[in-house]
Amino acid sequence: MRISISTPSELLKDFDETTKQIGYSDRSKAIQTAMRNLLTDYRWAYEKKQASTGAIIVLYDHSTRGVEDALIDMQHGYDDIISALMHIHLDDKNCLQIIAVRGKADRIISLAKKITAKRGVKQVKLSVVGA
């Protein structure tokens, strides 16, 4: 389908520059990717029984007492959705965990929320693909 859209010129300029930098030579293709990303970012969250695949990325301060045990204990309760876990020691204080998840959206959201609430956890990002 061909569509025409209106956009502020600055937004289009930024979009073209950024998509060119990441390797898109075709604006239509870049817009299609942006549309798909928006759908996967938002649609799956409203269809909580839908199966999803993705990663929860957690930055935490490992010097906070009990945070590592708490994170591991919590993850044992979600072994039905956790496919893999990567742990990276960033520096003296900070650790990064990348938790690969696969399962029902409401379970994934529940795990991400519990992690976010833990003391010592500084940042949590949830990224879902192919919803």
**Of 59 and 100, which has the nearer Cβ to Ni ion?**
59
What is the smallest separation between the CB atom of 125 and Ni ion, expressed in angstroms?
18
**Of 16 and 61, which has the nearer Cβ to Ni ion?**
61
Q: Which of 92, 130, 99 is nearest to 114 (CA)?
A: 99
**Of 41 and 73, which has the nearer Cβ to Ni ion?**
73
Angle ∠(118,121,126) on CA atoms, nearest 5: 95
What is the smallest separation between the CB atom of 121 and Ni ion, expressed in angstroms?
13
Q: Which of 44, 31, 41, 48 is nearest to 125 (CA)?
A: 41
61: left (phi over 0), alpha (psi -120 to 50) or beta: beta
What is the smallest separation between the CB atom of 30 and Ni ion, expressed in angstroms?
37
Binding site for Ni ion (CB under 5 A): 89, 95
Report the C-alpha gap between 51 and 10 in whole angstroms.
37
Residue with nearest beta carbon to Ni ion: 95
**Of 31 and 100, which has the nearer Cβ to Ni ion?**
100
